Amino acid sequence: MDLIRNCFPPNIIQANLQQYQTSIIYPGEEFNNITGEDPDDKNTWKVTSNWTNSTNILGLVVFSIVTGIAISLSEEEGIPLLRFVESVSVVMMKVTTWIIHLAPIGVLFLIASQILEMDNIAEEFGKLGWYFGTVMLGLCIHAFITLPLIYIICTRSLPFRFLANMANVYVTAFGTASSSATLPVTMNALEDKNGVDPRISRFVLPIGATINMDGTALYEAVAAIFIAQMNGIFPSIGQIIAISITATCASIGAAGIPQAGLVTMVMVLDTVGLPSESISIILSLDWLLDRFRTAINVLGDTIGAGIVAHLSKKELEEMTLKELKIEEEKALEEENDKL
């Protein structure tokens, strides 16, 4: 529901900085303080809302679509605004290109600082080795088999060149651990190196960075099963399927920022009846897994955009032809008027 509410932000400036989030006030002291209701009533739950600090990309996308439609319907008078937006986009892409060149150094320091903060890295891997290995195996199967296969089937071409052109994007996703922060780099590479039409990339990618999180869904399912096993519960196949579906829904709700998946993980644990405190078991290695799953999230977005671009080739050509025709007709009309 929050995803849908966030599509219609009440204030577009605020949407750049904050998202709407519903939260539950559990029965107890805080509940009674806020609501002033019977302290012994343990059955009534109250729902409140708050604004969290994170860009509301869906709201911005919906606003942009509405504004774009309005600009195209405004004809002549809408053109200055169109030129302004195009110019901002070109300038920002220039800045992004400079940042991309600094990315390797940034990634080096980001990771070095995380490793230095750990007391004993070998001990952490020893404790969580199987969990870490399982998540990594799942991510590798998804990255090297599932996604390329979908690309091959849909586009009838091999994805090697497409993926190699995007190497920089995956490194940036790994370095920043944020799909949203990687978004400008992803757009840039997809358009410049893979020749994807901006009409596709600029529509598909922001939505993908917000709701398409393959890596996070996979990680949340494995983490929930791992936590269940650590609590002495061995889920049946039916329960594993239920956990996977819940994890996929939770991943849609996760923001494209570092370790957002850890927050929605609590939701998965609550839903499948596991103690949410157990999340502390997996905390120590999450910073590293977060980087890998973010890279897979972004990989999923790019493959999705590549497939949509391939499937929409005909429509795009037709649209371009129509636009050219309209421009030609206009030019002719202007000449006739002059004559």
Which spans of this chain sit near ligand ASP (rule: CB under 6 A)?
177-179, 213, 216, 254, 256-261, 290, 293-294, 297
Burial class of residue 227 in the structure, from the number of CB atoms within 10 Å of its CB (0-12 exposed, 13-18 middle, 19+ buried): buried
The residue (of 258 and 306) whose beta carbon lies closer to ligand ASP is: 258
Question: Can you read off the two tokens belonging to residue 145?
Answer: 């088999």
The residue (of 197 and 260) whose beta carbon lies closer to ligand ASP is: 260
The residue (of 52 and 312) whose beta carbon lies closer to ligand ASP is: 52
The least distance separating ligand ASP from the CB of residue 260, rounded to whole angstroms, comes to 4
The residue (of 27 and 205) whose beta carbon lies closer to ligand ASP is: 205
Other C-beta atoms closer than 10 Å to the C-beta of 52 total 14
The least distance separating ligand ASP from the CB of residue 207, rounded to whole angstroms, comes to 13
The residue (of 25 and 266) whose beta carbon lies closer to ligand ASP is: 266
Residue of minimal Cβ distance to ligand ASP: 261
Selection from 128, 148, 99 nearest residue 288 by Cα: 128
- Adjacent-strand bridge partners of 18: 53
The least distance separating ligand ASP from the CB of residue 47, rounded to whole angstroms, comes to 24
- Adjacent-strand bridge partners of 50: 21
The least distance separating ligand ASP from the CB of residue 227, rounded to whole angstroms, comes to 16
The residue (of 280 and 336) whose beta carbon lies closer to ligand ASP is: 280
The least distance separating ligand ASP from the CB of residue 109, rounded to whole angstroms, comes to 19
The residue (of 19 and 216) whose beta carbon lies closer to ligand ASP is: 216
Q: Are 293 and 139 in contact (CB under 8 A)?
A: yes
The residue (of 27 and 213) whose beta carbon lies closer to ligand ASP is: 213
d(C-alpha 70, C-alpha 61), whole Å: 14
The least distance separating ligand ASP from the CB of residue 318, rounded to whole angstroms, comes to 35
Selection from 259, 250, 211, 249 nearest residue 62 by Cα: 211
The type of residue at 292 is: F
The least distance separating ligand ASP from the CB of residue 241, rounded to whole angstroms, comes to 21
Selection from 241, 243, 273, 247 nearest residue 262 by Cα: 247
The least distance separating ligand ASP from the CB of residue 104, rounded to whole angstroms, comes to 20
The residue (of 177 and 205) whose beta carbon lies closer to ligand ASP is: 177
The least distance separating ligand ASP from the CB of residue 183, rounded to whole angstroms, comes to 10
